[in-house]
Structure 1
Amino acid sequence: MIDKIFTSVAAAVEGISDGSTVMIGGFGTAGMPSELIDGLLETSARDLTIVSNNAGNGEMGLAALLKARRVRKIICSFPRQTDSYIFDGLFRAGEIELEVVPQGNLAERIRAAGAGIGGFFTPTAYGTLLAEGKETRVIDGRHYVLEGPLHADVALIKAHKGDRWGNLIYRKTARNFGPIMAMAAKTAIVQVSEVVPLGGLDPESIVTPGIFVQRVVQVEPRASTRAGDAAAKAA
């Protein structure tokens, strides 16, 4: 019997090793798997390469992982914002490596890894510092840059509901990078708000099929999340 449900966050993140490449879902805090990141912090894994849309907010989630000096390199599209001071301090001190990837390219590089695509040409970043050292080509009179796929050892993502086979549905913008990150990683670890019985998810609504998911753990929504949901319903 296939059962991908784990009984605790600690069990779900067990085995992430030093030097791993870890994809972390989220668009800012929307869809950020905070509890899984907290679980990763409780392990000894360090020297990590993180692939994420941004470089952390405040001192929670990804920012907490950075503050703990567990990250060697971050690959993201939006490293600086008003509350990204943890990353900013580390970068200025030369304590973390940064690879900036335009957001569309980041999504497509992750998707390419999951789809088995060896590379793709894009006009984005042509003629900029981000294209230095990369193959370029003129296609139909337009300049393009060759970008490669982004693979990962582990993806930490957040979904709304899942079943024991690992089928997932998401809640609104919390969907963001989760589906493609699950495809691009060797091991996709997912926190969900609710585990439902098989057949409890409408097949037409499933976004991530269980074939791309290896571990699922149910996590109670934090108080701030519940308050946000209540406010949204009241509106």
Structure 2
Amino acid sequence: MEFRTLAARFGEIEATDADHDIRDEVADLLRDASELSTVVRFLLGRVFPAYDSRTLDVGPQLCHEAIARVAGPNVSVADVEDRLAEHGDIGEVAASYDLGGQQGLEAFTDGDSDALTVAELDATLRELAAASGDGSRETKLDLLFGLFNRCDTVQARYLSRLVLSELRIGVGEGTVRDAITDAFDAPVASVERALQVSNDYGLVAERTRDGGAAALDEMTL
């Protein structure tokens, strides 16, 4: 799945008001997602399962600097922060700039060879989380630059929120639990038990899709 497709679906979910409609939108997304466990974690604003103590260790300053670099030489970190003070949402700020994903050969042809995929995004964010020690800040900045440079405005909105743990599209754990049961026709009790055992919504979604209630009931601590 391309990240632009996932970002567009995030936008549709965020624009939906009623809780039951949000659940239906999420269930549809789960049915369509090829990288299901990753999509589920991203829906919850996470890169890693809840039990995993790893973090991206990306603060606002680093994110702002990456956005400013991609936006061009006439944009400073102070400019990004001024827009943030005005809009109050880093996603809106990132989406307000013309970033690299809107440029390049694909803008003039049907080619899309450099489209950022969900799998690539997940791998890069994990690489970012693993960076430590001397030079790690510059490594993280370079990785963020590379990601934002492949984003259009919609992708930039949700990437910036994701890396700062501020996704806020109206989807919580209860919504994802219910969407898993709806998407793959599984008993709520089996899904809830599997979540209690694993504390991993992505894994439970995959097990439900691939093996149904029987696979969930086999899960143990």
TM-score (norm 1): 0.24
Structure with greater helix share of residues: 2
With structure 2 as the length reference, what TM-score do the two structures score? 0.25
Identify the structure with bigger relative contact order (alpha carbons < 8 Å, sequence gap 6+). 2
Structure having the larger proportion of residues in strand: 1
